[in-house]
Amino acid sequence: MSKPRASASLYLSVALVSAAALACEVLLTRLLAIVHWHHFAYLVISLALLGFGASGAFLSLAGSWCAARFRACWVANAAGFGFGAPLCFALAQALPFNALEVAWSARQWGWLALLFLCLALPFFACANCIALCFLRYRERIAAVYAADLAGAGLGAAGVIGWLYVSPPEAVLQGLAALGMAAAIPVGWGGGRALRGACAALGLAAAFLALAPPLVPLAPSQFKGLSQALEVDGARVSATRTSPLGVLSVVENERVPVRHAPGLSLASTSAIAPQVGVYTDAEHLRVITRFDGDLAPLRYLAESTSALPYHAVRPARVLVLGAGGGAGVLQALEAGAEEVHAVELDPEMVALVREDFADYAGDLYRHPRVRVHVAEAREHLRASSGRYDLIQVAALDSFGAAAAGLHASSERYLYTVEAVRAALERLRPGGALAFTRWVKVPPRDGVKLFATLIAALDERGVSDPGRHLAWIRGWSTATLMVRGEAWKAAEIDAIRSFARTRSFDLVHVPGVAREEANRFNRLDRPWFFEAAAALLGPDRERFFERYKFHVEPASDDRPHFSRFVKWAHLPELLRLQRQGGIGLLELGYPVLVATLGVSLLAGALLILAPLAFLRAPSPRAPDRAGVCAYFLCIGFAFLAIEIAFIQKAMLLLGAPVLAVAVVLSAFLVSAGVGSLAVQRSAAQGLPVRAVAVAIAGLSGLYLWGLPAFVEAVATLPLGPRAALVAVMIFPLGVLMGMPFPAGLRRLAAAAAPWTPWAWGINGCASVSGAVASTLLAVHFGFSAVVLLAAGAYLLAGALERVSFPRSG
């Protein structure tokens, strides 16, 4: 076979396909989060990426046949992606999968499996395109891979930017068009039939790009938005979209929205008229009608969250997670002089400030209100203001988990470090308050209480119990902490607030057992007992013995909403059979299930090709060695990437921004590294040296990160993001080298094996991403980085075993 020459148009096509594939991954996660729930979005998309592994297995078998018809196969696969992405999504959406029913019906697991097979198809097609290039241009493998990475990097950043201007269903169509367009530069060089196909694809792409969305999103009938729209008289009166989520405003003149979480059972107040705002068809927040008269807002003083206004009488209030403004109105109603409202989603602020400005009484331009569009933790770090009350309205805030790639539920607002930072922002006598849904059996309230205690411990407070308060109603609980001990008058105020509203005390200094279970009775005063144990000498023993994982979250292990312990998996299974799984957080079991399935499927996809992979020469490399090498670097790349995304969230605030910056910085710089491999001598550069450098550099970053975060905290966002990208760059360049270096060696010794290695890399990436998230839950992100560094070192050591010098 003559050596085909790779042209610039080929690299362009590769970059286009990769950009479309990565963008599609991000986008499908968003789309599924809207149609179903984000846990399942994560699961399905992780597994759909096994399409890459499947491509490896497929081309191990059919590689030479396909490579001989390179242009036609390329066009077919690019078209396959272009048509497949929207069609497969439409099909997936039409499947009668109901995430809420998985606990009840084995059939649902079948639908779920179909769902992910459906969505794996476009990724399979894309992966085929890239692997075909490896087979055909074996001398230019590293350059092809460089184009692949660079394209993916631009796709990651591009799709997030795109989601700011277009709704997700329109972006899907745009990506399909992009995939089709990628067929043209390669196909045009072929025969007449191929040119014809290219022309048709060009037309189809143009149509898709210009046409309005052909596949409308249809959220599950069990999501909050769908249910609200079933009610007589309901309509969606406004929609706003961004990568943070799709906001849908529901108005209903006949049956008004009435959202008053935690309202006292003793209340006789009417709820002021509201419109509902759903994020991704779930998570209700409201915009309240306001005309400057505070009298109709009386009900806001009758929820547990009003407690701090009675205990400390704050003048200057910071509301974190302001949403549609309920917490801000509560502060105004309580007589606060100055209210600072922090909200992550600019579209939410725009709804209140623009679309519903009249309705909301121009609340966000009220003379006593100032709005900041920022992530809460970031705002605490960057602003210099001090407050009498910092109010965390968790009921209103929208989970970061709904956004972005590989999202899980890191919440940097519920860590010991975050509580300490917030305490620093309080004026003398000021308090920090959290309000959360009450969950029975008790878990997140207990964990939050433990977190507050740990923060007080770190400040050197000798008797934390004197600085804490905790009350609960039947639906919400409010916890307060402050730097000073409570005074007798304040304790009296807390007691009387709770008693007059039928709330129970969980903790105030001097609380009696019989005050803890009066109005909202549990078979035992579980909350009181937990609080007492946490404040007593046996805290560690309590953590160990308590059914749920309630140890404080930290910045290194910020998974606040993980409560399940490993030991409970058998009980979980039993609960599932009883339909009781709803009692527990789904995130963790879903993560474990995803890992299990990806490992099984990965093993199958890696082992199956071995049946027909023949060694082309006696000097061919050792298969086990090759496999181990690519497994190591596939896992390690993803592990480091994910750890950096998580760390960057702390630095950049909004999760989507962290994903966009970190992902594109890593991928583009890795592309540069791959290009360097292409330029290097035939035997390639020593992977061992590269591995040592990666391990050293990532270790250095890990060690220096806290200081770095502190140093750049006050910089504006732009320069901060640029600094993160610059920091990642050298590491990314190094991490871009081992894969193409190994693949090039493999191509020289056993060319038909390259798709197999490509497949291993794909499977390792999928399992690696899930495994890193799980490992981080248990051991923290630092451990994940260390493990990844170890994997790189192992790959370096394997280099000589896996690829014996053939010269």
Partner 1 sequence: MRRLLLLVAAGILSATSGVRAAADGYEDARRGMLEAVRRLVADTRVETGRAALAPEVMRALEAVPRHEFVPSGLVARAYENRPLPIGHGQTISQPYIVALMTDLLEAGPDRVVLEVGTGSGYQAAVLAELGARVYSVEIIPPLAESAKRRLDRLGYRDVAVRLGDGYYGWPEHAPFDAIIVTAAAGHVPPPLVEQLAPGARMVIPVGPRFAVQHLLLIEKGHEEGEVFTRNILPVRFVPLTGDH
Q: Does 68 sit near partner 1 (CB under 8 A)? A: no
Q: Does 193 sit near partner 1 (CB under 8 A)? A: no
Q: Does 60 sit near partner 1 (CB under 8 A)? A: no
Q: Does 537 sit near partner 1 (CB under 8 A)? A: no
Handedness of CA 348, 354, 360, 366 (dihedral sign): positive
Q: Does 441 sit near partner 1 (CB under 8 A)? A: yes
User: Which residues are CB-contacts of 275 (< 8 A; sequence separation ≥ 6)?
Assistant: 237, 249, 250, 251, 257, 286, 287, 356, 359
User: Which residues are CB-contacts of 563 (< 8 A; sequence separation ≥ 6)?
Assistant: 443, 444, 447, 548, 549, 550, 584, 585, 588
CA distance 392 to 344: 13
Choices 166-174, 321-329, 580-588, 611-619; region in contact with partner 1 by CB under 8 A? 580-588
Q: Does 475 sit near partner 1 (CB under 8 A)? A: yes
Report which of 54, 56, 19, 12 is spatially closest to residue 144, judged by C-alpha positions.
Answer: 12
Q: Does 520 sit near partner 1 (CB under 8 A)? A: yes
C-beta closer to partner 1: residue 258 or 313: 258
C-beta closer to partner 1: residue 171 or 477: 477
CA angle 801, 802, 803 (to 5 degrees): 100
User: Which residues are CB-contacts of 123 (< 8 A; sequence separation ≥ 6)?
Assistant: 21, 24, 25, 48, 49, 50, 51, 52, 55
Report which of 52, 157, 42 is spatially closest to residue 728, judged by C-alpha positions.
Answer: 157
Q: Does 652 sit near partner 1 (CB under 8 A)? A: no
**x/- letters, 363..392, toward partner 1 (CB under 8 A):** ------------------------------
Q: Nearest approach, Cβ of 688 to partner 1 (angstroms)?
A: 48
Report which of 248, 244, 284 is spatially closest to residue 402, judged by C-alpha positions.
Answer: 244
Q: Does 523 sit near partner 1 (CB under 8 A)? A: yes
Asked if residues 479 and 469 have their Cβ atoms less than 8 Å apart, the reply is: yes
Choices 490-498, 575-583, 614-622, 760-768; region in contact with partner 1 by CB under 8 A? 575-583
Rule CB under 8 A: choose which of 36, 240, 259, 507 binds partner 1.
259
Q: Nearest approach, Cβ of 784 to partner 1 (angstroms)?
A: 30
**x/- letters, 392..411, toward partner 1 (CB under 8 A):** ---x----------------
Rule CB under 8 A: choose which of 44, 319, 373, 581 binds partner 1.
581
Complete DSSP assignment for 788-807: HHHHHHHHHHHHHHHS----
Residue 330 in tokens: 């509560």
What residues form DSSP beta bridges with 245? 242
CA distance 119 to 28: 9
Asked if residues 78 and 93 have their Cβ atoms less than 8 Å apart, the reply is: no
* Number of residues counted as binding partner 1 (CB under 8 A): 59
**x/- letters, 213..252, toward partner 1 (CB under 8 A):** --------xxx--xx--xxx--------------------
Q: Does 519 sit near partner 1 (CB under 8 A)? A: yes
Q: Does 696 sit near partner 1 (CB under 8 A)? A: no
What's the DSSP call for residue 352? I
For residue 348, CA distances in Å to 239, 245, 279, 323, 515 come to 10, 10, 9, 6, 40
**x/- letters, 97..116, toward partner 1 (CB under 8 A):** -x-xx-xxx-----------
C-beta closer to partner 1: residue 364 or 546: 546
C-alpha count within 13 angstroms, C-beta hemisphere, residue 640: 29
Question: What residues between 130 and 189 interact with partner 1 by CB under 8 A?
Answer: none
Rule CB under 8 A: choose which of 5, 192, 254, 805 binds partner 1.
254
Footprint on this chain of partner 1 (rule: CB under 8 A): 98, 100-101, 103-105, 221-223, 226-227, 230-232, 254-255, 258-263, 265-270, 395, 437, 439-442, 474-476, 502, 518-523, 526, 542, 545-548, 568, 571, 575, 578-583
